[in-house]
Amino acid sequence: MRIIDCFGSSRPVYSFEFLPPKTEDGVRTLFATIEELAGLHPSFVSVTYGAGGSTRALTIDLVARIKRETALEAMAHLTCVGHSAVELGCILDELQARGIENVLPLRGDPPRGETRFIPPADGFAYAQELVRFVRPRYSFCLAGACYPEGHLECPDKDEDLRHLAEKASSGVDFLITQLFFDPQDYFRFVERARTAGIEQPIVPGIMPVTNVAQIERFTQMCGATIPPALQEQLDAARDDEEAVIATGIAWATEQCQALLAGGAPGIHFYTLNRSRATRTIFLNLQSSDDAGTRRHADAATGPALSASPPPRVSPAQRRGLTP
């Protein structure tokens, strides 16, 4: 199934992103997580690609296995890092041969120990170049990444948007955003994208906070902003794991409700291979009158929403057991 065909119905497009584990035990744990989340009937799941192609074989194997052994549609990430055009063609040939229909082409992060991206010999420097390579040669449905708060390596947001428009016009079918925490960042970004002529569905990417130090590190790496109201709550709960998880669930639930009510076509969850927070947020959305099947075809504008803190939560909610 081509993921782009999921858009346009009355149901939001929900998806879960997983990381390739480093051990066999990790693979078993991942599939236990996938089995639990599969019961939520997401539109698709995706599997990331390690820096420098370090998880190349595992990413392909996992995506093929998910598609073969579950009822879930799976999308493979693919990066430019460490690969020539010929090598990328071989990877794409294998994905196609194994029945994969959806790919997310990315530039990718530098390998561990390197501070900047160096294009490989006979390879590509940007994701849009990889998209241009894939589109005329294969029939994959292609996703693309985008950055509501701007790309960390491109401080000029107008220039960053021009790059995105070029990537979109090269053959991307839909877009998924980097993590963010304020719905207004998404609505402002979508409005600018539509003005720039970008017509593809733009799916907000949501990472539930489960660890304070971890999310602070992630946001520093990608240039995302933690709103002061959320930071205040996380600081107060920093030494209480259950309170941190509860705060993350409550904030992400309210954020997703606001996004869907404002016209977002779905939600892409960065799960970090954990099911509890994602599952609880998803069930909260299903039981909310503000979400469920409510959506609009064009997420060009949103209501006047604020990044106000979510409501305080009960001990049961802190365990992720109740909406």
Residue 216 lies in a domain: yes
Position 285 pLDDT exceeds 50: yes
Q: Which of 17, 129, 149, 254 is flagged as catalytic?
A: 17
Residue 323 included in any domain: no
Q: Give the N- to C-terminal CA distance of the chain in Å, as an integer.
A: 32
- pLDDT in the model for residue 322: 28
Residue 94 lies in a domain: yes
Beta bridge partners of 202: 175
pLDDT at residue 191 greater than cutoff 90: yes
Asked whether residue 180 is domain-assigned, the answer is yes
pLDDT exceeds cutoff 70 at 151: yes
Residues 6+ positions from 288 with CB-CB distance below 8 Å: 253, 257, 323
Which CATH number goes with the domain that contains 22?
Answer: 3.20.20.220
> 196 lies in a domain?
yes
237 found inside a domain? yes
Work out the pLDDT band at 113, boundaries 50, 70, 90. Answer: low
Name the maximum alpha-carbon separation found in the chain. 56
The answer on pLDDT for 198 being more than 90 is yes
Q: Say how far residue 66 (Cα) sits from the centre of its chain.
A: 18
Cα–Cα separations (whole angstroms), residue 73 to 7, 38, 51, 172: 14, 10, 24, 18
Q: Is residue 149 part of a domain?
A: yes
Full-model pTM: 0.87
CA gap 143, 177 in Å, rounded: 11
104 part of a folded domain: yes
The total domain count for the chain is: 1
* Residue range 221-232, pLDDT digits in tens: 899 999 999 999
Residue-wise pLDDT for 40-98, tens only, equals: 999 999 999 865 555 678 899 999 999 999 989 999 999 988 889 999 999 999 999 99
Domain range for residue 28? 3-318
pLDDT value at 134 more than 80 = yes
Q: Under a CB-based contact definition with an 8 Å cutoff, are residues 61 and 99 in contact?
A: no
17 labelled catalytic: yes
